[in-house]
Every structure is written in structure tokens, then in C-alpha cells.
């Protein structure tokens, strides 16, 4: 079992930045894909970035590419999501999720493929 706890959400104006954190605990010794998803009211859950916890390879959704960086502190078992140039369309609940990695890289995959989830952290961007 893996437990995930997100933090770092908040309210910013257009053009602002936020850094979200996802702290993992429990059975973190294996190979995992750790991803960030987001969900706005009325919308489906969207995967936006994923990182392989050992290889460090990353994948981004087109909607955030160039404005977002996923990274990790392996010693602390924390995955970060740095979001810059935020726009109102980025307003959503942001979730951290994890699944076992089969290959040395991670595709984004679908939310149903991730068995481990955090409780979410809210991001609100105003114009």
C-alpha cells in the first residue's frame, strides 16, 4: 500500500505560479509511475504529468506542456508539480496518484489504472 498526501494548492491571479507537493509513504520501495491529475467541476479527471520514480523520465499533457514541471526528491519521497503562467482554465482539484511501473518510463495512462490516490489540493486561478 502507498499513501499519498498533496499540499501546496491555493488561489493565484492569471500568470502566477504554484508548486504542489505529493508526499508518499508506505510501500515506496518499488518502481512507480507517480502522476498528477486534475478535475474541474463537470469535467472528467485529466492526467497532466507523470514521472517514473527511479528513472526520472517524465511525460506531460499538451494542455500544460511548457508551463509545468514535474520533479521529485527521491530521498524524501516527494513529487512536485511546478506550475507557471497559470490561467483560469487551470482551476481544478489537483490529485496525486501512483501505480506500479512495468517499464523504465511512464505513459500518462488513465485514472482507472492508478490504484493509489491522495485527497487532492485545490487550485484556483482568477483573471
Give the single-character DSSP code of 113. G
pLDDT of residue 94: 98
The band of 119, judged by pLDDT with boundaries at 50, 70 and 90, is very high
Give 126's strand partners.
13
Helix, strand, or coil (residue 86): coil
Confidence of residue 105 (pLDDT cuts 50, 70, 90): confident
Which positions ≥6 away from 118 have C-beta within 8 Å? 4, 5, 6, 22, 95, 96, 97
If you compute the radius of gyration of the chain from its CA atoms, what whole number of angstroms results?
A: 14
Mean pLDDT, range 64-91, rounded to an integer: 96
pLDDT in tens, 47-73: 999 999 998 999 999 999 999 999 999
pLDDT at 102: 86
Nearest CA to 117 out of 16, 7, 2, 9 is that of 2
Amino acid at each position: 500500500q502507498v499513501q499519498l498526501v498533496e499540499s501546496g494548492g491555493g488561489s493565484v491571479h492569471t500568470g502566477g505560479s504554484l508548486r504542489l507537493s505529493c508526499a508518499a509513504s508506505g510501500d515506496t520501495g518499488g518502481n512507480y509511475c507517480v502522476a498528477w491529475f486534475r478535475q474541474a467541476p463537470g469535467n472528467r479527471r485529466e492526467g497532466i504529468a507523470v514521472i517514473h520514480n527511479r528513472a526520472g523520465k517524465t511525460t506531460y499533457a499538451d494542455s500544460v506542456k511548457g508551463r509545468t514541471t514535474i520533479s521529485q526528491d527521491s530521498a524524501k519521497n516527494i513529487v512536485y508539480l511546478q506550475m507557471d503562467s497559470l490561467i483560469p482554465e487551470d482551476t481544478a482539484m489537483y490529485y496525486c496518484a501512483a501505480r506500479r511501473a512495468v517499464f523504465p518510463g511512464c505513459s500518462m495512462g488513465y485514472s482507472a489504472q492508478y490504484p493509489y490516490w491522495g485527497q487532492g489540493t485545490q487550485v484556483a486561478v482568477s483573471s
